[in-house]
Amino acid sequence: MRRIQGRWAEVAFPEAFMDELIARNDIVSVVSGYTVLKRQGTRHFGLCPFHNEKTPSFTVTPEKDLFYCFGCGKGGGVVTFIMEIEGLSFSDAVYFLARRSGMTVPDREEDKTARMRARILRLNLDAAKWYRANLGGIQGRAAADFLKKRRITPKTAARFGLGAAPDSWDSLINAMTQAGYTKQELIDAGLAVPGKSGGLYDRFRNKLIFPVIDVRGDIIGFGSRVLDDSKPKYVNSPDTIAYSKRRSLYGIHLAKNTKRSDLILCEGNIDVLTMHQAGFDNAVATMGTSLTQEQIKLISRYTKELVLCYDNDDAGMKATNRAIELLSGSEISTRVIRLPQIEKDGIRVKVDVDDFINLRGRDAFERLLLGSENNVEYLLSRLREGIDFSDDSQKVAYLRKAGELIAGLASPVEREVYSAREAEAAGVPAEAMRLEVQRFRKARLKTAKSKREREALSPARTVQPKERAIRYGNVRSAIAEEGVIRLIANYPEFIERISLEPGEFSSQVLEKAYEVFRAAVREGRPPGISCLEGQLTQQETSLLAHVLSEPAEIENVQKALEDYIAVIRSEREKEAAAHDENALTAILREYRSKKGYGG
C-alpha cells in the first residue's frame, strides 16, 4: 500500500493501482498541459511552470517517469507534479489523475483531509445559497441597493452568485447548524469566528458577499464589502483547507473561458463585475493580496498575455510596479492600462476601472485597452513624469535611471529601440544613450559572472540540497550514496549483489529511497521516482528527482557499486574513530579534573 505521513493525513492506495495510474498518465502528456515541451534526445525541455524564467531549465525524462527543474530545484513524478501545479494533496492528486485516465479509485483507508475538504466545500455551497437568498429579501435590501447604485445588474449578480450577510451576529451560524453543520466546521471554513468570551459570531455581517469560485467550479471561500463607510472596506475568508488567497483569483472560473487572447488583472471584486458586465469577460482580481507567483502560474495556464489595470492612485501604481517586477523574466508578456483622471461632479479626480466604465462607457475602455503600454514603456513613462529636460541635472539623472532599466532587457533589439527612443525624448545623441546602457549592461554581466565564480568555488554548496531540513551531514558519503541509488534505479538486477544495509547510510532521505527501491525490486517492480511518490515530502522527492535525473551510464557497474560502498564505509569508520577519540578525550579531561591536574 502507498502511504504518506505529515502534511496530509495518512492515505493508502494499492501498489498495483498506483503502478497502473502512473502508466496511464504519461508524464510528458500531463506536463504538456501546463508548459510547452520540446524533445531533445531522451529528454523533453521547456520553461518551468513553477518559477519565472526565459531560458528553459525544466526537464522531463519519460523513460524514468520524472520531471526536474535545474533552476528552482522542484522535481518528482507525475503525481508530485499535479500536487504542486494544482495545489492538491497526495490523495486529491491521485483522484485528479484517475479521473483524467478514466480509472476508478479502489476502496482504501479513509482520508481525513479529503473528507474535511469535501465537507467544507459543501458548507461553502450551502452558505453561498443562503447568502444568495438573503439578497432578494428584506435582510439584503441594503446590499441590493448598493449593487443598484454601482450599476451592477441582477443578471451579473446572479452570474457571480452574489449574496448578502445580514446585520446580525449569528444568523449564518444558526442557519448552518440547523442544516447539520457543526460549529467547528464553521470555524474551519472561516465562516465563523470564536469570541473572547468563548462564544461564536459570523465573520461576515452587514456585507455584500462575493463567493470565490475556483477553476473546477467549487466555492472555496468568500470575499465581502461593507455597505457604508466603515473600515476595513473589504473582509475576505482566511486561508482554509479549501482556500488559499495566494493561489486564487476572483473571476477565474469565468475568465478562463474567454475568447480574448489575454486576461486583465484589476484590484477589486466590483471592478471584475463591472468589466464582465461591459463585455470584458477576461477580467480577474487578486483577493486582498499583491500578485503572487502561485497566481502567475494559474494565469499562465490560460494565457501568455496579461494586462494590468490597477487604480491610478499611489497604492495602485505601487501594485503595478510590484506586479511588473514579479512578472519580469516570465513567459507572460505584460501591458499596463493607465486610467486617466476624469471629471466627476465638476472636479477632475482619479478613478478606478469601475467608475471609468460607468462614466465613460465600454468603448472608451476598449480604446484604453488597445492603447495600453507594454511594461517597459510604462516604466519609462513613469520615470519621465515631472522631469524638466531643460534642467541638465534632471536630464542626467533621468538618463541614468532609464539606462539602468534598459540595460536589464534581455533582447539587444529592445535595448537598441528603447535607447534611441529615450535619447530622442531627452534631446541627446543616440550614441550617448547607448554608451550609458552598455555601461550598466557590463556592470550587470560582471556581477553575474562573479556570482557564478563564487558558486563554482564552493562545491559543497552545489552538492548540498538547497533545503536545510535535508542537508547532508557527510557530503562525501552522501555523494557515494547518491551513486548507489542512481545505479539501482538504472540497473536493478544488481540489487542482490549489494551488501550495503540501510543503517550504513549517512542521509536519512537516501536511506529511505534505498529501502523503497530494494523492496520494489524484490516485489518485481521497477525502482524509480514513481515508487517514492506518496512516501516522501516534496523536498525529499525533489532531491531524489535531482539524483535520478543525472546520467548513470557506467561501463563496469559492479566496480562502481563496490567503490561507492567502500567510500560509504570508509566515512563511517572515520566518524566512528572521531567519536571514539572525542569520548576518550572527555574521559581523560574528567579524570584530570578529579585528580586536580587542571586543563
Check residues 175 and 536 and name the one with the higher pLDDT: 175
Q: Say how far apart CA 213 and CA 255 lie, in whole Å.
A: 11
Q: Say how far apart CA 316 and CA 308 lie, in whole Å.
A: 10
Q: Say how far apart CA 119 and CA 112 lie, in whole Å.
A: 10
Q: Which three cell numbers stand for residue 384?
A: 519621465
In which element (H, E) is residue 528 found? Answer: none
Rounded to 5°, angle at Cα 245 from 470 and 369: 120
In the chain, the domains with their CATH numbers are 2-109 (3.90.580.10), 113-243 (3.90.980.10), 252-329+342-369 (3.40.1360.10), 382-456 (no CATH), 468-581 (1.10.860.10)
- Average pLDDT on 259-264 reads 95
Q: Which three cell numbers stand for residue 309?
A: 489595470
Question: Helix, strand, coil % (nearest 5) of the chain?
Answer: 55, 15, 35
**Strand order across the 207-213 sheet:** 163-165, 207-213, 219-226, 234-236
To the nearest whole number, what is the mean pLDDT of the chain? 86
Nearest to 14 by CA among 6, 22, 5: 22
Q: pLDDT digit string (tens) for 580-597?
A: 556 556 655 665 666 555
Nearest to 273 by CA among 358, 383, 170: 358
With bands split at pLDDT 50, 70 and 90, how would you rate the model's confidence at 471? confident
Is residue 459 predicted with pLDDT exceeding 70? no
With bands split at pLDDT 50, 70 and 90, how would you rate the model's confidence at 348? confident
Rounded to 5°, angle at Cα 578 from 576 and 580: 70
Is residue 63 predicted with pLDDT exceeding 70? yes
- Specify the amino acid at residue 136: G
Global pTM exceeds 0.75:
no
Q: Say how far apart CA 37 and CA 47 lie, in whole Å.
A: 8
Among the listed ranges 59-63, 84-88, 244-248, 344-348, which one has the minimum average pLDDT value?
344-348
Q: pLDDT digit string (tens) for 168-222?
A: 999 999 999 999 999 999 999 999 999 888 789 999 999 999 999 998 899 999 9
Is residue 146 predicted with pLDDT exceeding 80? yes
Taking CA atoms, 313 is separated from 231, 317, 355, in Å, by: 19, 6, 14
Is residue 117 predicted with pLDDT exceeding 70? yes
Q: Say how far apart CA 425 and CA 516 lie, in whole Å.
A: 66
Main-chain phi, psi angles of 525, to 5 degrees: -110, 145
With bands split at pLDDT 50, 70 and 90, how would you rate the model's confidence at 81? very high
Q: pLDDT digit string (tens) for 293-317?
A: 888 888 988 888 999 999 888 888 8
Neighbouring CB atoms inside 10 A of 502's CB total 13
Among the listed ranges 120-134, 355-369, 441-455, which one has the minimum average pLDDT value?
441-455
- Residue 439's Cβ-side half-sphere holds a number of Cα atoms within 13 Å equal to 12
**For the residues of 275-314, what is the DSSP string, one character each?**
HHHTT-TTEEE-SSS---HHHHHHHHTT-SEEEEE--SSH
Question: Would strands 373-374 and 38-40 be described as parallel, antiparallel, or unpaired?
Answer: unpaired
**DSSP SS3 for 240:** coil
Nearest to 117 by CA among 83, 89, 86, 81: 89
Report cis status (omega within 30 of 0) of the bond before 154.
no
Q: Say how far apart CA 219 and CA 225 lie, in whole Å.
A: 18
Nearest to 478 by CA among 493, 463, 467: 463
Main-chain phi, psi angles of 180, to 5 degrees: 110, 5
- pLDDT score at 11: 52
| 403 in Cβ contact with 416 (< 8 Å) | no
Q: Where are the alpha helices (DSSP H) in 35-140?
A: 78-86, 90-100, 112-135
Angle, helices 375-384/412-426, rounded to nearest 10 degrees: 20
Q: Say how far apart CA 370 and CA 490 lie, in whole Å.
A: 55
Rounded to 5°, angle at Cα 155 from 153 and 158: 110
Sign of CA dihedral 250, 254, 257, 260: negative
- pLDDT score at 213: 96
**For the residues of 387-415, what is the DSSP string, one character each?**
--TTSHHHHHHHHHHHHHHHHT-S-HHHH
Question: What stretches of 118-246 adopt beta strand conformation (E)?
Answer: 163-165, 192-194, 200-202, 207-213, 219-226, 234-236
Taking CA atoms, 482 is separated from 151, 236, 254, 506, 567, in Å, by: 64, 47, 47, 11, 12
Rounded to 5°, angle at Cα 575 from 569 and 578: 140
Nearest to 213 by CA among 256, 177, 271, 176: 256
| 96 in Cβ contact with 81 (< 8 Å) | no
Q: Say how far apart CA 518 and CA 505 lie, in whole Å.
A: 14
